[in-house]
Amino acid sequence: MTAPPPTSRQVCAACGRVFSETDPRLQCECGGLLELRHEHSGLTGAALRALFDDRRGAAHGPFRSGVWRYREMVLPTAGDDVVTYPEGNTPLLRRPAVTAWAGATDLWLKHEGHNPTGSFKDRGMTVGLTQARRIGATAVACASTGNTGAALGAYAALAGLPALAFVPKGHVALGKLMQLVAYGVRTLLVNGDFDVCQELAHASSDQLGVYLLNSINPFRLEGQKTIVLELLQQLDWEPPDWIVVPAGNLGNTASFGKALAEARDWGLITKITRIAAVQAEGAAPFALSYREGFARRHRVEAHTVATAIRIGNPASYARAVRAIRETDGVVTTVTDDEMLEAKAVIDAAGVGCEPASAASVAGTRRLIRERIIGTGQRVVAVLTGHLLKDPESVIRYHQETEAAPPGANRPIEIEPRLADVERVLAAARNLRR
Ligand code: F0G
């Protein structure tokens, strides 16, 4: 006789009230956010590691996905009928030029831009749309700075559901806007910033009955936990000293904390990695709270070139506080110039990422300079989105900014003559990287 499958439930993080796993509400009556608790698989840490290792490289079925490979810790009751692209299985890279720029000795880049729609959001959406289908949702929606909406669109298409995205007019990078339209999302260009979009999305979910797939949705966070599980597996379950992550709406910060705590509780690892959350200086409400020992929550008017993290009132604040506290983590800020310089280094290393992603590498450099990250410590910096998400920022940096910023690679106009080519080639050989 086989054992009954494990069960999961939703629990209010504020008051502890318990809801069934298929309850469609996203918030408790007390206002607290819900989180998933999965019944323990009963396997030892070693057995679980072996199971996950065994599923690596599967050619068929849900285990091809770098999210569903960890099903026991994501959504054990989902069965095999999941809405998957598949996603995940993103590379963990080392690039000496990036390591040197950051002043690090042991730096890895976890490149989430290699997901199907070009950002980590796919890991949350595969679980979010799987759940939407389980509860019989008839439409899905999100507020977004672009990437969440793009992922929502692709996965809603897979699930055969209509999708709605509320985006801040004039503040969505071109690659993302293009994806929203291409994937068939009803794209609402809202006259307001992301925080206004978020309020409108919540009201629509409450009053119009669409299933909200913002990062307050606890099922999305379960998927995003696999960024951490996958990088731990890629490091042979040897936890790094630090994971550094860009922080906007704080969904990732929260889910990373949950992933690390559960990985320890389930015996996958014995040492907890510290989380460093990095905000843009002009959009840093979480860093403000951190400096005050999280005495209170801040709301700011956000300004940064990194449109992905142009967020003044992050939704997952409370659970991100817990993640920082439980991992002895830190929150820091970087300027737009630091972020863009880091991005130019990551791009020129042939890796590439969007501006917000480079906050993790710029933040790593800052924390090393401040001796918060120690020399010799192992760091994994998460690159959250693909270079092609924001082509305009690249052109602005390399071609249009006066005076030329560090690493600017100006396109060169020539006459159709070999002599001009020869001149450029000679200069390039001299500068050989
Ligand atoms: N990096 C990228 C590329 C993002 O798109 C986002 C968030 C973040 C970092 C911040 O992550 O919100 O979990 O702290 N993008 C959301 C969106 C807001 O709508 O696409 P977070």
Render pLDDT for 382-418 as a digit per residue (tens, 0 to 9): 999 999 999 999 999 999 888 999 999 999 999 999 9
Q: What are 391's two structure tokens?
A: 């082509």
Collect all residues with Cβ–Cβ distance below 8 Å to 142 and sequence separation of at least 6. Answer: 148, 149, 152, 164, 165, 166, 201, 212, 213, 214
- Residue nearest ligand 1's atom 9 by CA: 246
Q: Treating both helix axes as pointing N-terminal to C-terminal, what angle do 45-55 and 218-234 enclose, rounded to 10 degrees?
A: 90
Q: Computed over its alpha carbons, how large is the radius of gyration of the chain?
A: 22
Q: What are 177's two structure tokens?
A: 């806007």
Other residues' Cβ atoms within 10 Å of the Cβ of residue 173 = 24
Distance 70 CA to ligand 1 centre (A): 23
> What pLDDT, on the 0 to 100 scale, is given for residue 192?
96
Give the ligand 1 atom nearest the CA of 277: 14
Whether 212 contacts 26, CB under 8 Å = yes
CA distance 170 to 184: 20
> What pLDDT, on the 0 to 100 scale, is given for residue 375?
86
Render pLDDT for 89-101 as a digit per residue (tens, 0 to 9): 999 999 999 999 9
CA distance 373 to 105: 11
Q: What are 348's two structure tokens?
A: 């020129």
Mutate to test the pocket of ligand 1, among 119, 195, 224 (most ligand atoms within 8 A of CB): 119
Phi and psi torsions of 375, nearest 5° = -65, 140
Letter string b/e over residues 57-85, b meaning 16 or more CB atoms within 10 A of that residue's CB: eeeeebbbbbbbbbbbbbbbebeeebbbb
Give the ligand 1 atom nearest the CA of 224: 13
Beta bridge partners of 246: 278
Render pLDDT for 201-244 as a digit per residue (tens, 0 to 9): 999 988 888 999 988 999 999 999 999 999 999 999 999 999 99
Which residues' Cβ are closer than 6 Å to ligand 1? 119, 121, 144-148, 215, 246-253, 308-309, 354, 356-357, 384-385
Mutate to test the pocket of ligand 1, among 185, 252, 321, 393 (most ligand atoms within 8 A of CB): 252
Distance 249 CA to ligand 1 centre (A): 6
> What pLDDT, on the 0 to 100 scale, is given for residue 432?
66
Whether 327 contacts 275, CB under 8 Å = yes
Phi and psi torsions of 42, nearest 5° = 90, -5
Give the ligand 1 atom nearest the CA of 250: 14
Mutate to test the pocket of ligand 1, among 290, 309, 333, 361 (most ligand atoms within 8 A of CB): 309
- Residue nearest ligand 1's atom 10 by CA: 248
pLDDT per position in the chain (433 positions), as tens?
Answer: 455 667 899 999 999 999 999 999 888 999 899 999 999 989 999 999 999 999 998 999 999 999 999 999 999 999 888 999 999 999 999 999 999 999 999 999 999 999 999 999 999 999 999 999 999 999 999 999 999 999 999 999 999 999 999 999 999 999 999 999 999 999 999 999 999 999 999 999 888 889 999 889 999 999 999 999 999 999 999 999 999 999 999 999 999 999 999 999 999 999 989 999 999 999 999 999 999 999 999 999 999 999 999 999 999 999 999 999 999 999 999 999 999 999 999 999 999 999 999 999 999 999 999 999 998 999 999 999 999 999 999 999 999 888 999 999 999 999 999 999 999 999 889 876 5
Q: Treating both helix axes as pointing N-terminal to C-terminal, what angle do 147-159 and 121-134 enclose, rounded to 10 degrees?
A: 40
> What pLDDT, on the 0 to 100 scale, is given for residue 1?
42
Give the ligand 1 atom nearest the CA of 145: 19
Is residue 163 within a helix (H) or strand (E), and if so which, with residue range? strand 163-168
Is residue 55 within a helix (H) or strand (E), and if so which, with residue range? helix 45-55
Q: Please work out, in degrees rounded to the nearest 5, the angle formed at the alpha carbon of residue 229 by the alpha carbons of 152 and 353.
A: 55
Mutate to test the pocket of ligand 1, among 144, 147, 171 (most ligand atoms within 8 A of CB): 147
Give the ligand 1 atom nearest the CA of 248: 14
Distance 414 CA to ligand 1 centre (A): 40
> What pLDDT, on the 0 to 100 scale, is given for residue 272?
87
